[in-house]
Chains A and B, each alone.
Chain A
Amino acid sequence: MLSGIDYFVVIAYIVGILLLGYYFKRYVNSSEDYFLGGRSLPFWAIGMSIVVSDIGAMDFVGVSGQAYRYGISVGNFDWIGSVPAMLLAAFIFIPYFWKGGMYTIPEYLGRRYNPTVRTIASLTWIIFFAVDLGVLFWASAVLLNVLMGWPVWASILITATVVGIYTYFGGITAVVMTDVVQLVIMFVGGLTLVFLALHAVGGYNELVDKITTMGPEYRQHFDLIQPSTTKTPFPWTGILFGLTFVMANAYMIGNQAIVQRCLTAKNEWHAKASMIFGSALKMLIPILVLFPGLMAIIIHPGLEDGDQSLPMMIKSTLPPGLIGLMFSAFFAGLMSSVDSLLNSTATLFTKDIYEPYIKKGANDKHYLKVGKITTLVLLLVGVATSPISSRYPGIYVAIQTFLSYFQGPMFAILLLGIFWKRTTQWGGLSGLVIGIAFAVYLNTFKSQFFTIEDPFLYVSWWSFLLGFVVTVLVSVFTSPYSESRLSGLVYSSKKKEQVT
C-alpha cells in the first residue's frame, strides 16, 4: 500500500518516539513526577497535548468521513463543542483543581462530597478506560490494516511495545512531550494536504459551487447549523443542549485524561493558559480533518464508505514521503490515545483506590512503583482483551457512547459542587447514581424516546438534567457542610479570599 520511503518515514517516526519517550525516564524520581510531571510543564506543551489526546486515529478518519457524508456541521464538535468549554475550564474549574494540589477529578469530588462519590467516580473511569483500551487497540489496528496493510496483531504489538516503554519509564512527561511532536507533524502534513487539495479543486469558492450543485443531498453541506428535523446526527437542538451545554463541558472539565494534563502545569497561570492555547489550536483542527473530507467529494465522488475519504485524499494528493508523514500522524494518534488511557488509569487506581483503601501511608517510591506496575498490567490486559472486540462489531461505538452517559451526571455534580455551596454530600451521591442509571435506561429503550438512530447527544443532556435536579432536591432536604469545611472547594470561598 505504501512505498518504501513512506515505510521508512513511519518506522523512523516510531523509533524516534521510542527513543524520545525513553529519554524522559531521567525526569521521573517520584510519584508526582510520574503522574503530574513534577508540576513543571509549560502551557504550550500541555495545550498541544490536550488537543492531540482528543484526536485519535479513529477520529482522524471519522471526522473526514462525516464531512464527506454530512458536510461542515461535524466541525461543531471542535468549535462550539470545544472552545467555550475549554475557556470555562480555564477560568473557573482548572484553578480549583490545580491549587488544591489534586491528582484526579474524583479526588476533588471526594473532598467536596464524600469518599463514596470519589470511589464511584474513580471506578467508573477506571472500568471505562480499561475496557476502552482493548477496544481501541483492536479498532485502530483494524484501521491501520486497511490503510497501511499492516497485520492487525503487528499493529497491536508494535503500539503496545512502543507506548508501553515510554509511558512506563517516562510517565506523563513522556506522554505530553510525544504529543507535542505529533501535533507539529499533524499540522505540517495536514496543512500541506489541504493546500494541495484546495489547489486541485480550483480554490474555496469553486469547492462550494461544485459541491452545492451536485444534488439535493449536498445542499446543506456548508450549513454549520442543521435543522432539528435533519436526518444527520447533528441537529442544532442536540448540538446546543447535548454537546455545547453538557458533553463538551463534561469532557473538558470532568475527563481525567484531559484535566490531568493541566495539573502538570508549573503554576496556575500556565494551567489556565494551557487550556486557552489548546482552544486556539482546536479551532484549526476542523481545517485539517474536515476539509479533506469535503474536497474528496469532488476528487473521489461516490465513495461507498465516507471514512475512506481521508486515506484516499492522502494517497492521491500527497507526494511520497509526506504520505508516510501523514500515516505517522495516524499511528501517533493511536499511540496518543493509548498513552493517555494508560497514564490516567494508573493515576486513578494509585491515588483513588490503592492509596486510600489498600496501602495507606506508604512511602512515595512505593506509590511510584504501583503506578508503573499498574501501567504495565493495564497494557497487558488491553492487548489480551483486544480480540474480544472483533466478536462485537458495534463495541467501539458502544464504548464511546457509554462515555457520554456518565459524563453528564458527573458534570452536574461538579458544576453544583463548585457553584452552589448548599449542595450536600448526599445530593451529590444521589445525583451521580440516579443520573447514570437514567442514562443507561434511556439508552436501553432509545427507540421509544428518540427518532434519530444515535441519540447520544440527547441522552447526555437528559441524564445531566436529571442528575442536576436530583442533586438539588436531595441537597435541599439534607444538611450541608460548614463554610470552613468547604474552604477552597467552592466558588464563594474564592470570592471571600479575594475580598480579604
Chain B
Amino acid sequence: MDTIENREKLKTAQINNALGVFIFFFGLVVIFAMLFTETFVQQMTDLAAGLVLCLIGGGMMLKSRKTIKSLKLK
C-alpha cells in the first residue's frame, strides 16, 4: 500500500516538476521580451508578468524536487 502511495506521490511530483520547468522557462522568455519594448511601462509590464510566471514555475520546481528527494531517500 505504502509503495503504491509513494509511487503515486513520485509521479505527481515528477509531473509538477515538468510543469514547473516549462512555466519557469516561459517566464524567462517573457522577461527577455523586455529588450524589445519601447517605454518604461511596457518594460515593467513584461518584467512583472515574466516574474510571476518564473515564481509560479520556480515554486513548483522547488517543491516537487524536494518531494522527489524525500521519496527517493525512503
Contacts and interface: CB of A to CB of B under 8 A. Distances in A.
The answer to whether A and B assemble together is: yes
Interface string A183-202: 01100110010001000000
Interface string B49-72: 110110010000000000000000
Interface in B5-29: 8, 11-12, 15, 18-19, 22-23, 25-26, 29
Nearest to B33: A321
A4 B33 CA distance: 10
Interface string A1-23: 00111001100110011001001
B28 to A, nearest CB: 10
B19 A177 contact: yes
Given A42-B12, A322-B49, A184 B33 contact: no
A229 interface: no
Nearest to B46: A321
A24 B15 contact: yes
Contact of A321 (B12, B37, B52, B56): B37
Nearest to A317: B45
Contacts of B48: 192
Contact of A13 (B26, B35, B39): B26
B52 A188 contact: yes
A131 interface: no
Could you tell me the dominant secondary structure of chain A's interface residues?
helix
Contact of B29 (A12, A20, A27, A40): A12
Could you tell me the dominant secondary structure of chain B's interface residues?
helix
Given A177-B19, A185-B26, A321-B46, A266 B8 contact: yes
A180 interface: yes
Contacts of A16: 22, 25-26
A9 B32 CA distance: 10
Instruction: Report the contact-size class of chain A (Cβ under 8 Å from the partner).
Output: 35 or more
Contacts of A336: none
Given A5-B33, A16-B26, A24-B15, A40 B8 contact: yes
B19 A181 contact: yes
Given A42-B12, A196-B45, A321 B30 contact: yes
A166 to B, nearest CB: 12
Contacts of B33: 5, 8-9, 319-322, 324
A93 B27 CA distance: 39
11 contacts: A12-B29, A17-B22, A20-B22, A24-B15, A41-B12, A184-B56, A185-B53, A320-B36, A321-B29, A321-B33, A322-B46
